[in-house]
Amino acid sequence: MTDDGTLFLTSEECAGLATPEEYVRAVREGYRQRGEGAPAAPRTKLTNEDPPGMLTGYTAILPETGAMGGYMYAAGFGDRDARFVQPVFDADSGALIALLDGASINPFKTGAAGAVGVDALARTDATTLAVIGSGAQARGQLRACATVRNFETVNVYSPTTENRETFAAEMNEHLDAAVAAVASSDAAVEGADVVITATSASEPVFDGELLEDGAHVTAMGQYHPEKHELDATTVERAKYVPDLRERVMNDAGSFINAVEEGVVSEDDVHAELGAVVAGEAPGRESDDEITVFDSGGTGIETVAAGYLVYEKAREEGLGTELAFAPGSQALTGE
């Protein structure tokens, strides 16, 4: 590991340093390590009413990557926007090797986690994709997932016509698949091999009865106990795989809702994604099986992506060196 100081990278410097394929490879490796025992803690969230705001963070250690760290972001407090800060530490020495403005990385590392879920659980012959949502996270999901399956058709729905049409036009520029805006979530989901939900919705965004046998669903908006993008029918029909088992009954709103409706119990959590990636638990076991990957965001993809970007930045000579004092200097003389 380098003896240089801490490398600070702005969001602009991070942007474009890695391809979606590279993010997916790094994040898949991170989940493999998690499946073999690497530590990761669920997100914690603090909220305040006056002034209104939210402070969120999560952490992980990836020993084989040689990095540990996490993510902290604040939202609200006046401007109703978010700020992301991402420290990366050397897993051996504990030195702070990088400090990243994580804004531009966020959709790519989250998209990579979704793609790892698709790769581990979707049918290998999947060609039709439904995307519910048209924001930055939906864009990141689509670009990453297109690296793990040969999609021919992508149907996107979001409530605002202009947003979904703009999304489709933009994604057609990036992908070989034909991307089309459709007028309803039903139209997107019917016949889809893979469904991605990337919304801020509090209620289900499609009817689980419409899922085809053999479909896979990746849900990216599930980190609040009272929000459930997926209905109880979807959860009941599916093999359910979360990013971290520990968070399921705390903030995996779709699963919590299904438990409250009496259609599943905690025993119906199949395994963490890392266990599937590492081969410690089976993934898809038949072409007719419905699978769900429920991603609330973890330090696993955060550390994997952050270290990837750090290495790329070092190679290209980007960033600004900062000096952080070790703790041994905290009680030195006056």
What pLDDT is attached to residue 212? 95
State yes or no: pLDDT of 3 exceeds 80.
no
Q: Is the dihedral of CA 217, 221, 224, 230 positive or negative?
A: negative
CA distance 18 to 301: 14
CATH topology of domain 107-294: Rossmann fold (3.40.50)
What pLDDT is attached to residue 75? 74
Q: For the residues 267-275, what does the mean pLDDT come to? A: 98
What pLDDT is attached to residue 4? 65
**Which of 253, 217, 219 has the alpha carbon at shortest distance from 238?**
217
What pLDDT is attached to residue 79? 64
What pLDDT is attached to residue 224? 85
Q: What is the mean pLDDT of the chain?
A: 94
State yes or no: pLDDT of 1 exceeds 60.
no
Q: Which CATH number fits domain 6-106+299-328: 3.40.1390.20, 3.40.50.300, 3.30.470.10, 3.30.1780.10?
A: 3.30.1780.10
**pTM of the full predicted structure?**
0.94
pLDDT band at 73 (very low <50, low <70, confident <90, very high): confident
What pLDDT is attached to residue 2? 45
Q: How far does the chain reach from its first CA to its final CA, in angstroms?
A: 32
Q: Are 183 and 200 a contacting pair, CB within 8 Å?
A: no
Domain boundaries, the chain: 6-106+299-328, 107-294
- pLDDT above 90 covers a percentage of the chain that reads 84
Q: Are 323 and 90 a contacting pair, CB within 8 Å?
A: no
pLDDT band at 74 (very low <50, low <70, confident <90, very high): confident
List, for residues 165-216, the tens digit of each pLDDT value.
999 999 999 999 999 999 999 999 999 999 999 998 889 999 999 999 999 9
What pLDDT is attached to residue 115? 98
3-state helix, strand, coil in the chain (%, to 5): 35, 25, 40
State yes or no: pLDDT of 317 exceeds 50.
yes
State yes or no: pLDDT of 140 exceeds 60.
yes
What DSSP element (H or E) covers 59?
strand 52-62
Q: For the residues 248-272, what does the mean pLDDT come to? A: 97
State yes or no: pLDDT of 123 exceeds 60.
yes
Q: For the residues 140-157, what does the mean pLDDT come to? A: 97
Q: For the residues 55-64, what does the mean pLDDT come to? A: 95
Q: Are 59 and 299 a contacting pair, CB within 8 Å?
A: yes
What pLDDT is attached to residue 223? 79
List, for residues 273-286, the tens digit of each pLDDT value.
999 999 999 999 99
What pLDDT is attached to residue 176? 94
* Cβ burial, residue 124 (10 Å; 0-12/13-18/19+): exposed
State yes or no: pLDDT of 120 exceeds 90.
yes
Q: Which residues contact 39 (CB under 8 A, 6 or more apart)?
A: 60, 61
Q: For the residues 215-237, what does the mean pLDDT come to? A: 91
